[in-house]
Amino acid sequence: MALPMLREEEEERGPTLRKICLPPAGASQFSSTGMATNQPKQGSENDDCSFLPLVHDIIKCMDKDSQDVHQELVKFKTRIQEAREQIGAMPGIDMSLSEQQHELETLREQVRTKNQLLQKYKSLCMFEVPKAS
C-alpha cells in the first residue's frame, strides 16, 4: 500500500481525494481448479492509482509559468502508460463478459461441491479417537 502523504505535502498539494483502487495484478488469484494461488505482489509504486496529484502539479506549474510543465507532463504520460499496462495484465481482461460469467458460475459450483463434500466428511465418524487417561 502507498504510504499516506505527510501533512506538509498535503498542504503543498492542496486538498486530496480518497483513492479507490483495484487490487494489484499480482494479488491472490484463483487458478482454474478454483484453488487460490499466491502470486508475488507488485511494488508499492503500482498501488498508487491516483492521477489527481500529478494533474495538480501540472496546473501549479502552469500557474507559475514554470518551465517544469514539460517534465510534469512526461510524468503524467508515464503514469497513464503504467496504468494501461496494469489493466492489460489483469487476469480475465481478455475474456468477454459471458466468458467471465461462465467462469464465475463454474467456480461457484466448485465451491458448492467442495463445501458439500466437506460437510459430508465432517459428519462421518471414520476413526475412534482414544481418550487420554
How sure is the predictor about 124, in pLDDT bands with cuts at 50, 70 and 90? Answer: confident
- The confidence band for 130, taking pLDDT boundaries of 50, 70 and 90, is low
Q: Report helix, strand or coil for 36.
A: strand
The per-residue pLDDT of the chain, averaged, comes to 72
Give per-residue pLDDT as tens, 70-82: 888 998 999 999 9
Pairing of strands 36-37, 29-30: antiparallel
Backbone torsions φ then ψ of 77, nearest 5 degrees: -65, -40
Q: Which helix (H) or strand (E) holds 111?
A: helix 97-123
User: What pLDDT does residue 117 have?
Assistant: 93
Please tell me the pTM assigned to this model.
0.44
Asked whether 23 and 42 are in contact (CB, 8 A), the reply is no
Q: Which of 71, 60, 58, 54 is nearest to 19 (CA)?
A: 54
Give pLDDT tens digits for 86-105: 998 998 888 999 999 999 99
Q: How many CB atoms lie under 10 A from the CB of residue 30? A: 15
d(C-alpha 113, C-alpha 107), whole Å: 10
Are 41 and 71 spatial neighbours (Cβ–Cβ below 8 Å)? no
Please report where in the chains the cell 502539479 appears, as a residue.
Answer: 57
How far apart, in whole angstroms, are the C-alpha atoms of residue 54 and residue 109?
44
Q: What tens digit of pLDDT does each residue of 22-71 get?
A: 444 444 444 444 444 444 444 444 456 788 888 888 888 888 877 788 88
Mean pLDDT of 12-23: 44
Is residue 9's pLDDT more than 80?
no
